[in-house]
Structure 1
Amino acid sequence: MKKLLLLMALLYTGYSYGQITFTNPIMAGFYPDPSVTRVGSDYYLVNSTFAYFPGVPVFHSKDLKNWRQIGNVIDRPSQMTFFGDRTSRGLFAPSINYYKGTFYMTCTNIDKRGNFVMTSKKPEGPWSDPVWLPQVRGIDPSLFFDQDKAYIVYNSDAPDNKPLYPGHRTIRTFQFDPVGLKVVGEEVQLVNGGVDISKKPVWIEGPHIFKRGDWYYLCAAEGGTSVNHSQVILRSKQATGPYVPYEKNPILTQRDLDPNRKDPVTSTGHAELVDGPDGKTYAIFLAVRPYEGNHYNTGRETFIAPVKWVDGWPIINPDQKEVQYSYTADFKEVKQIAPPQSGNFAYRTTFDKKLDQSLLFLRTNDTSWYRLDKKNGLTMRLLPETCMGLGNPAFIGKRQQHLTGSASTEMTFTASQPNEKAGMLIFQGEYNFYYICKSIKDGKQVVQLYKGNRTTKGMDLIVETPVKVKTLQFKIEANRGLYNFLYAESPGKWKILKDNVDGKFLSTETAGGFVGSLYALYSTSSGENTKSTASFKWLDYSGNDPIYKQK
């Protein structure tokens, strides 16, 4: 009996020994600007969330493959909100560190007071209120702890605010007081322009300093977070420089590869290096998966690749030119009880107890407009705010994590006025979305499909059809650059409302900005007050990318 219990315990905790296989991206969908830190045998990861709330998710792993969300750094409106911010504004590029029993998260609120630091004794929180750092002028701050000193390093303006060319930036540092949470002394410039200013490098950013042996390394992104993105490395004998660049930079890029190659991974950069359980170095970085040209709807995602040290310099992805969809390593896998984040998967989110930590609101979480219960699931009040505004609409989103897949829900709602609408969005930004919803027209309940319109700052009706039931199911299917919108008046008996709708409209290339697409449950009274509500029983998600079937 004891042997059986031991076997069951081992299976439950998910320990396996031997070779581990990473599947890229390790965090699929809109999980950009990763930062990772190691504390003993534990790894913690954070990502940018821009104007979504809660802000800066915190993930835990034992093996760099299986990640479980344990909290959010910004989960209280009293810490900050993002009213007035468009979806691609708000929080840029967090960094997580650990020092003497305290976790530190540094970040940039791009349009509101700039850079700040927050702390917690536990990575899952609660995290402190922000402490603002007005002297740290720029973006992408991160901390480096060096024995008895600490430093904050960041992207900043060109020297004397006189750029020699567009995109001319610097990397700078202050000494940092980790107890008083303030900068100390004078600002020091570490890098001007990039690796070689004579070549006019742009957007040196996302810097991290670490020490290996007798060398201090400065690892940063260069080229801008698109197809020319890259990672570069410099080193010095002192934390404050002077830093000398590696003569074979960049240490990671995909910009020189054939853009027409099959299943490309592009825009690689914004990396942070970390030692794995096997003692070898790995890079955690962002990249994207375009389905045509530079069109991708899943946003910038979190990837992993091995690192090889050559003559004292780290080389990311040393054995191939192309970033791979899978890598292997010789250490044990430690699975977690958590929703999957990589490869193909499907699961149902229910709303009987509490909201999943990965679900996103726009700009804040106001609990007054929704409730959860086992019978009805998620019940939303229809709010006057819309997803086209800069407030807090009745919107709860889940990231699109696959190029090919679907999301569906069951909704109970009866509209009393044409301005009342409830249903599902596929949402990239304020005017780059499609909305399948139930409403009323000429006294009859209808299902409608709308498309956002940036020119009119509204949305255009594409198609509508009458329905007779109070409870409907909606489904949105993604197939790379095309989307299908379906509804069912009886469970599972799907009817196509509109198929082969242009998905490039939802891509970053078309919409601009830095975020990925979300499937969202959304209800609105379109600027007018109402007491009407809509209830959503569940949210199903399924991802089925062909690339993973080939493995």
Structure 2
Amino acid sequence: MAEASAPAVPTARFSNFIYEGRDPVFAANKPEADEYQNPILAGFYPDPSLTRAGSDYYLVNSTFAYYPGIPVLHSTDLINWTQIGNVIDRPDMLDFDGLGLSRGVFAPTIEYHEGTFYVANTCVDCGGNFIVTATDPAGPWSDPIWLPEVGGIDPSVFFDEDGKVYVMNNDAPPGEPLYEGHRAIWLREVDPKTFQSIAEPTLLINGGVRIEEKPVWIEGPHIYKIGDWYYLSAAEGGTAVNHSQVVLRADNVLGPYEAYEGNPIMTQRHLPADRENPITSVGHADIAQDDAGNWWATFLGVRPYEGDYYNTGRETFLMPVRWEDGWPLIVTGDEEVKYKAQRPELPLSSRSNVPLNGNFTLTEDFSSGELPPHWMTLRVPKEQWYDFADGDVIITARADRLGEGGQPSLIARRQQHIYATATTTVTFNPVQSGDEAGLAVLQSDDYFYALGLNSMGDGTFAVTVRQKAGAEENPYGEVVAEQSVDMSSGEPLDLRITADGDAYDFFYRLPDGEWQMLLDDADGKILSTRTAGGFVGATFGLYAETSE
């Protein structure tokens, strides 16, 4: 008797992906020729770190358990940025298997020194602190140089003028913590080539600038040598609404450091929560001096659509730094972080063909035959399950499904606007019941919507919306809307998801037909950090999966 042949593996062909952002606050604050618009990187671009190399500026952000990890962006004017690569872009560099989506690579810092770029980072629950290097910031970057003696998170590197090199980091305080969130900033001298410790660590900050007030989560440290002073800047208060930035200085890199009496040098936590179009949770700043001698700060912030609800994640903002009595100040008193401000006096960067701020419509292009650098997968692929042909992306359906916490067949890009639309056309040949392909909007493994074309197992098809709104639910979520569709196998189907703040609408369109609403006013708050937790923002993704 002949052996039964294995069932064919279904594949989904996506022939386009169109993203549209239409935030009213961007339209109302369109910059003039001598202005720029905040955020400079809209959507899930948290924990920015900035460095200058000649007349060029480079910036990196956290990506947690998304892959490739740690985008590298380039600009000549600090306003218009182009992604030139990713630091973590080889599958064997780091292992994110089994990690929650908000673990992995936290808070990278980038430095340039004598022709080499350095990124220091933490792989949380996957190895600890490490440094990678490159002579070209577009890559390739070295394999991780692990720092086993450096605990905690948020490492950064400081190159002193005398040739000594230091690593600083957030870690536990000396002795028993005095309260929840009590942390410390430590500094140690390291070997300039191996980055291994060659001296005992020195305590720079214990708790925060006013330990009697029990400050929490001192983190994200940077040291800058400016004139005769060493300036130490760090975030305080946690990365939510109480976030802030503080500064201290010393005449010796090892301290002792004196805190600025007017700290914090940036926060928005004291401003009215009901102010119009608020920018909140600002902090985690890094500063750099431009060619004209002016100083600028990049930092993270969020744009809630209600209370502390936001789906776009923590974004990257830019503000000028002013100096008063020898101290750098960013936003003080009742000053608000601005949606537009006077631009730096720098040569204009060419605007990227992938816009990163303001309102825009972008038709994604897969014609290069490789995944564009701003597209990501959940965790690190162990096999090749996507390919390209004739400008389309072809995704193989696999049994690793959305919601399981594994490595599903999904490629995703950031939701960058509170009001956004994602549209795609999929051609899918499901083999059996449970085969599904379509368009998802995802905040984590436990909070997402999936709009997909399904086989009903009898030669008929349906379009469904699947919702998962918590870890205790069915791991794949529940079908909350379904419509059988009269179409032949191999016909293209248009799918669309529209975000309007906390309301998401789901549509489909048959060949030569009109758009049909499948589900309207779905609860978008399940895609917010406030509901889902973690540190990431929502992403739109193209996926294909099978139940077997």
**TM > 0.5 fold call:** yes
| Corresponding residue for residue 340 of structure 1 | 355
CA deviation after TM superposition for structure 1 residue 330, in Å: 5.2
**Alignment deviations for residues 107-145 of structure 1 (CA, whole Å, 9 cap, x no partner):** 001102210000111101100100110111110000111
Which AA in structure 2 matches 1:462?
A: V
Aligned ranges 1:325-364 → 2 under 5 Å: 325-329=339-343, 331=345, 332-352=347-367, 353-364=369-380
Aligned ranges 1:370-409 → 2 under 5 Å: 370-374=386-390, 377-409=392-424
| Corresponding residue for residue 521 of structure 1 | 542
Q: Secondary structure at the match of 2:530?
A: helix
Q: Secondary structure at the match of 1:140?
A: strand
CA deviation after TM superposition for structure 1 residue 303, in Å: 0.3
CA deviation after TM superposition for structure 1 residue 81, in Å: 2.4
| Corresponding residue for residue 545 of structure 1 | none
| Corresponding residue for residue 187 of structure 2 | 173
Q: Secondary structure at the match of 1:22?
A: strand
* 8 A contact 2:46–2:315 mirrored in 1: yes
CA deviation after TM superposition for structure 1 residue 211, in Å: 1.0
CA deviation after TM superposition for structure 1 residue 279, in Å: 1.5
* 8 A contact 2:80–2:352 mirrored in 1: no
Q: Secondary structure at the match of 2:198?
A: strand
* 8 A contact 1:308–1:318 mirrored in 2: no
Q: State how far apart, in whole Å, the 2-side matches of 1:365 and 1:103 are.
A: 27
| Corresponding residue for residue 126 of structure 1 | 140
Q: State how far apart, in whole Å, the 1-side matches of 2:222 and 2:189 are.
A: 14
* 8 A contact 1:63–1:277 mirrored in 2: no
CA deviation after TM superposition for structure 1 residue 257, in Å: 0.5
Which AA in structure 2 matches 1:333?
A: L
CA deviation after TM superposition for structure 1 residue 491, in Å: 5.8
CA deviation after TM superposition for structure 1 residue 318, in Å: 5.4
* 8 A contact 2:77–2:344 mirrored in 1: no
Question: What root-mean-square deviation, in Å, do the aligned CA atoms of Structure 1 and Structure 2 show?
Answer: 1.5
| Corresponding residue for residue 279 of structure 1 | 293
CA deviation after TM superposition for structure 1 residue 292, in Å: 0.3
| Corresponding residue for residue 540 of structure 1 | none
Q: Paired residue for 2:508, among 487, 509, 520?
A: 487
1:291 aligns with 2:305: yes
Q: State how far apart, in whole Å, the 2-side matches of 1:103 and 1:172 are.
A: 23
Q: State how far apart, in whole Å, the 1-side matches of 2:290 and 2:501 are.
A: 34
**Structure-2 change in CA distance of 1:407 and 1:65 (3 Å):** same
**Structure-2 change in CA distance of 1:223 and 1:277 (3 Å):** same
Q: State how far apart, in whole Å, the 1-side matches of 2:183 and 2:462 are.
A: 53
**Alignment deviations for residues 80-128 of structure 1 (CA, whole Å, 9 cap, x no partner):** 1211111001110000011111111100011022100001111011001
**Structure-2 change in CA distance of 1:345 and 1:483 (3 Å):** same
| Corresponding residue for residue 215 of structure 1 | 229
- Bigger mean CA offset, 360-369 vs 110-119: 360-369
**Alignment deviations for residues 226-259 of structure 1 (CA, whole Å, 9 cap, x no partner):** 0000000000001111011100000000000011
| Corresponding residue for residue 48 of structure 1 | 62
* 8 A contact 2:432–2:457 mirrored in 1: no
Q: Paired residue for 1:465, among 483, 490, 493?
A: 483
| Corresponding residue for residue 249 of structure 2 | 235
Q: Secondary structure at the match of 1:58?
A: strand
Q: State how far apart, in whole Å, the 2-side matches of 1:244 and 1:491 are.
A: 70
Listed as ranges, the gaps of 5+ residues in structure 1 are: 1-17, 529-551
**Alignment deviations for residues 291-325 of structure 1 (CA, whole Å, 9 cap, x no partner):** 00100000000000111100000110359611100
CA deviation after TM superposition for structure 1 residue 399, in Å: 0.1
Aligned ranges 1:439-450 → 2 under 5 Å: 439-441=454-456, 443=458, 444-450=460-466
Q: State how far apart, in whole Å, the 1-side matches of 2:512 and 2:221 are.
A: 51
| Corresponding residue for residue 94 of structure 1 | 108
CA deviation after TM superposition for structure 1 residue 158, in Å: 1.6
Q: Secondary structure at the match of 2:271?
A: coil
Per the normalisation by structure 2, the TM-score is 0.91
**Structure-2 change in CA distance of 1:442 and 1:102 (3 Å):** closer
Which AA in structure 2 matches 1:446?
A: A
Q: State how far apart, in whole Å, the 2-side matches of 1:213 and 1:492 are.
A: 68
Q: State how far apart, in whole Å, the 1-side matches of 2:192 and 2:92 are.
A: 23
**Alignment deviations for residues 185-208 of structure 1 (CA, whole Å, 9 cap, x no partner):** 111110000001000000000000
Q: State how far apart, in whole Å, the 2-side matches of 1:166 and 1:521 are.
A: 41
Per the normalisation by structure 1, the TM-score is 0.90
Q: State how far apart, in whole Å, the 1-side matches of 2:72 and 2:334 are.
A: 31
Which AA in structure 1 matches 2:150?
A: V
Q: Paired residue for 1:191, among 196, 202, 205?
A: 205
CA deviation after TM superposition for structure 1 residue 494, in Å: 1.2
| Corresponding residue for residue 247 of structure 1 | 261
**Structure-2 change in CA distance of 1:34 and 1:330 (3 Å):** closer
* 8 A contact 1:58–1:123 mirrored in 2: yes
* 8 A contact 2:81–2:352 mirrored in 1: no
Which AA in structure 2 matches 1:278?
A: A
Which AA in structure 1 matches 2:35?
A: T
**Structure-2 change in CA distance of 1:346 and 1:491 (3 Å):** farther
Q: State how far apart, in whole Å, the 1-side matches of 2:536 and 2:331 are.
A: 26
Q: Paired residue for 2:152, among 138, 141, 144?
A: 138
Q: State how far apart, in whole Å, the 2-side matches of 1:284 and 1:123 are.
A: 19
Q: State how far apart, in whole Å, the 1-side matches of 2:129 and 2:520 are.
A: 44
- Bigger mean CA offset, 224-233 vs 347-356: 347-356
Listed as ranges, the gaps of 5+ residues in structure 2 are: 1-31
- Bigger mean CA offset, 201-210 vs 180-189: 180-189
Which AA in structure 2 matches 1:497?
A: L
**Structure-2 change in CA distance of 1:328 and 1:492 (3 Å):** farther
Q: State how far apart, in whole Å, the 2-side matches of 1:24 and 1:359 are.
A: 22
Q: Paired residue for 2:86, among 58, 72, 85?
A: 72
| Corresponding residue for residue 6 of structure 2 | none
- Bigger mean CA offset, 225-234 vs 466-475: 466-475
Q: State how far apart, in whole Å, the 2-side matches of 1:46 and 1:27 are.
A: 11
Which AA in structure 2 matches 1:519?
A: F
Q: Paired residue for 1:420, among 432, 435, 441?
A: 435
CA deviation after TM superposition for structure 1 residue 440, in Å: 2.0
Q: State how far apart, in whole Å, the 2-side matches of 1:112 and 1:397 are.
A: 23
